[in-house]
Amino acid sequence: MKNALSILVVALSVALLACASTQETASSQPPPSGLISEGAATATAIVEKIDVAKRLVTLRKADGQLTELQVDESVKNLPQVKKGDRVVVKYYESLAYEVNKPGAATPGTAGAEQVATAAPGAKPGRVAARQVEITTTIEAIDKKMSMVTLKGADGKLTPVKVRDPSKLDRVRVGDLVTITYSQAVAVAVEPAPK
């Protein structure tokens, strides 16, 4: 959770960079919000060898490299895995922001996590998702220095350098910046092609 909070604090500066670049005042435009980044990746490997008793699985990655993994007890149905089966890993993450006016949000950190595993007798599989949300208050804006100072719920002040000061025209001292980091990983074992 601490690592995710570090990512989110850094992302706050990115969020402020992503604000609209118009020169209009904050009262003539709604507070900025949007998607900062989003990414997905899929990797596939083939089961080369499996030792169920020792819970060791050797995988051949797409580049031909072999990797041996120690599989912990949380992986159910390991005896269902056979040589030649495909292990497919899908990963997704996103980072979004929203600026709210005072009173529309509360400073702090919240998180949620969910995990689902394969049914008994099926090939092993697991889906895990988590979301961390941190809300801070804009304590100070220094357009001359292109700096914003953010205040966390714990009172800690964090100065953030903004590359383009014109991006700050739609935010004000007292506004709340909420960063939402979402991550999901799905691992599935598919039968070997016949």
> pLDDT by residue (tens digit) across 146-181?
888 999 989 999 998 876 677 788 889 999 989 899
Mean pLDDT within 2-14: 42
Handedness of CA 154, 157, 163, 164 (dihedral sign): positive
Task: Say whether 13 sits in a helix, a strand or coil.
Answer: helix
CB 150 within 8 A of CB 160: yes
Residues 6 or more apart whose CB falls under 8 angstroms from that of 167 comprise: 16, 17, 18, 19, 20, 21
Share of the chain above pLDDT 70, in %: 82
The DSSP bridge pattern shows strands 33-51 and 66-70 to be: unpaired
pLDDT digits over 14-28, tens only? 444 444 333 334 445
Higher pLDDT, 143 or 140: 140
Task: Please state, in angstroms and rounded to a whole number, the distance separating the CA atoms of residues 90 and 188.
Answer: 9
CB 59 within 8 A of CB 87: yes
Mean pLDDT within 116-130: 90
Helical (H) or strand (E) element with 182:
strand 176-190
Would the pTM count as exceeding 0.95?
no
